[in-house]
């Protein structure tokens, strides 16, 4: 396992890899867990070399406290990757090195998908994600790059990004890894108290319930039912519950034959913001 702290050191090493070899990139913000490991393991299966980037990207945070308190555990991350006993490289640059100057977002035109849900509630978030993912893809030039469906909207944004920028990397989406109690694994879970962690099961339970109701009940009724459940919770504050068309990510008001739908939730447990989603049909 090698770790590179600068683009120059990474680039020097990448030059030693034959052009015929496949490279997989797994972009992360660190504080690695089994969700990240599932992406890394998929990359190991698909590619000759895997690079995991560990970089807490300042430009995608609209909340200073969230950025400050984001868990940073590089030493543990390195040990976890070592334990895989595979040839995985870590790329952990400083912001100025990765950005090559001012640490600011570019502006993208991702279309309507960027204005829904996370785009609506975290101003500038997807410009920040687009900027850093573009920089990472250009630094590594991977054959494949891996993103989790936990951040389903982000995955669609990244697919759009490679199309707009004509980047020759195949984007692979990976299923959500959950705790035994159903909670989607997330680095931010580390910030939850035991009580909040237990209360947070309401998020995945609500999505499961929405899935169960989806065949028989109107979208409106399901939405009201889920919102009422969150209103009754003393630990969680719902930011949004949406049932959206998977293609457009627009909130759906009526089910249409042939369309796929997902339920999406963002909720706060104290200061910690959690997201999750689930296929409904």
Ligand X SMILES: Nc1ncnc2c1ncn2[C@@H]1O[C@H](COP(=O)(O)OP(=O)(O)OP(=O)(O)O)[C@@H](O)[C@H]1O
Ligand Y SMILES: CC(C)(CO)[C@@H](O)C(=O)[O-]
Residues at the contact surface with ligand Y, assessed by CB under 6 A: 27-29, 57, 60, 129, 132-133, 151, 154
Q: Measured between alpha carbons, how far is 12 from 147 in angstroms, rounded to an integer?
A: 26
Would you say 131 or 223 has its CB closer to ligand Y? Answer: 131
Provide the minimum distance between the beta carbon of 8 and ligand BAL in the complex, in angstroms, as a whole number. 26
CA distances from 232 to 16, 162, 199, 226, 228 (A): 58, 42, 12, 10, 6
User: DSSP per residue over 45-74, as a string?
Assistant: HH-SEEEEEE---GGG-S-HHHHHHS---H
Site residues for ligand BAL per CB under 6 A: 60, 151
225 known member of a binding site: no
Q: Where does this chain bind ligand X (CB under 6 A)?
A: 28-29, 35-36, 38-39, 147-148, 150-151, 174, 176-177, 184-188
31 labelled ligand-binding: yes
Residue from 36, 49, 125, 144 carrying the catalytic annotation? 36
The DSSP annotation for 68-94 comes to: HHS---HHHHHHHHHTTTS-EEEE---
For residue 3, the SS3 value is strand
Closest separation in Å from C-beta 39 to ligand X: 6
Nearest residue by C-beta to ligand BAL?
151
Active-site residue, 36 included:
yes
CA pair distance 248, 10, nearest whole angstrom? 37
Residue closer to ligand X (CB basis): 36 or 262: 36
Return the SS3 of 196: helix
Q: Which is nearer to ligand Y, 105 or 154 (CB)?
A: 154
| Least CB distance to ligand X at residue 102 (A) | 23
User: CB 16 → ligand Y: shortest distance, Å?
Assistant: 25
Distance, CA of 203 to CA of 267 (rounded, Å): 8
Pair of tokens at residue 26: 């797994």
* Annotated binding residues for (R)-pantoate: 60, 154
Q: What are the catalytic residues?
A: 36
């Amino acid at each position: 396992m090698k770790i590179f702290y600068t683009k120059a050191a990474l680039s020097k090493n990448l030059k030693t890899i034959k052009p015929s070899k496949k490279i997989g990139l797994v972009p992360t913000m660190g504080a690695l867990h089994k969700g990240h490991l599932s992406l890394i393991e998929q990359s190991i299966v698909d590619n000759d070399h895997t690079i995991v980037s560990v970089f807490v990207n300042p430009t995608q945070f609209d909340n200073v406290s969230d950025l400050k308190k984001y868990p940073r555990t590089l030493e543990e991350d390195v040990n976890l990757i070592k334990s895989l006993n595979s040839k995985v490289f870590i790329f952990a640059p400083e912001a100025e090195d990765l950005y090559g100057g001012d640490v600011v977002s570019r502006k993208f035109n991702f279309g309507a998908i960027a204005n829904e849900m996370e785009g609506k509630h975290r101003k500038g978030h997807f410009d920040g994600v687009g900027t850093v993912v573009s920089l990472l893809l250009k630094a590594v030039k991977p054959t494949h790059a891996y993103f989790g469906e936990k951040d389903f909207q982000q995955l669609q944004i990244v697919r759009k990004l490679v199309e707009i920028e004509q980047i020759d990397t195949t984007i692979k989406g990976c299923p959500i890894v959950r705790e035994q109690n159903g909670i989607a694994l997330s680095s931010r879970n580390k910030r939850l108290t035991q009580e909040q962690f237990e209360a947070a099961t309401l998020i995945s339970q609500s999505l499961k319930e929405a899935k169960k109701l989806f065949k028989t009940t109107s979208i409106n009724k399901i939405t009201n039912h889920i919102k009422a459940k969150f209103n009754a919770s003393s630990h969680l504050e719902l930011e949004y519950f949406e049932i959206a068309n998977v293609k457009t990510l627009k909130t759906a008001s009526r089910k249409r034959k042939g369309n796929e739908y997902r339920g999406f939730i963002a909720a706060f447990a104290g200061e910690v913001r959690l997201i999750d989603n689930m296929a409904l049909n």
